[in-house]
Amino acid sequence: MPYCSSLWSNTTQANLEKLQAVQNFACRILCGAKTIDHVTPLLKDLRWLSVRQQLYFRFAVSMQLWFMPGGGGVLPEKFGRGVGPASQNPYPFFAQNL
């Protein structure tokens, strides 16, 4: 499911429900459950996130990697300490690249 999540992250609710149905079907096959069994406890036993939870998780991880200096973030390295209200230069990135 995480494969190509950037492609289906901006899809409609109907498509997300279809993806959730596929995940539920795969979960039932792996666990040997019947179609009348609830899938939520099975997902928890497998430690799988629902489709919507996977979207939120992937977004949160990408934002952490983008913004956090300890996570190899791009923005802290690019802007450095020049960003903020006490900055001498309000546009440090543009001044460096002129």
Model pTM above 0.85? no
One domain, residues 54 and 17: yes
One domain, residues 8 and 39: yes
Q: Which residue has the higher pLDDT, 16 or 88?
A: 16
Q: Note down the domain range covering 35.
A: 1-67
Is the pLDDT assigned to residue 3 strictly greater than 50? yes
Question: CA-CA distance, 96 to 98, in Å (whole number)?
Answer: 6
pLDDT level of residue 60 (50, 70, 90 thresholds): confident
Query: For the chain, what is the domain count?
Result: 2
One domain, residues 75 and 62: no
Token pair of 28 as six digits: 């039932």
One domain, residues 16 and 56: yes
Is the pLDDT assigned to residue 87 strictly greater than 70? no
Token pair of 23 as six digits: 């995940």
Is the pLDDT assigned to residue 23 strictly greater than 70? yes
pLDDT level of residue 62 (50, 70, 90 thresholds): confident
Average pLDDT over residues 56-79: 69
One domain, residues 56 and 89: no
Helical axes 51-67 vs 13-31, angle rounded to 10°: 110
One domain, residues 33 and 17: yes
One domain, residues 60 and 82: no
Is the pLDDT assigned to residue 40 strictly greater than 90? yes
Whole-angstrom CA distances from 24 to 13, 27, 39, 47, 94 are 16, 5, 6, 13, 49
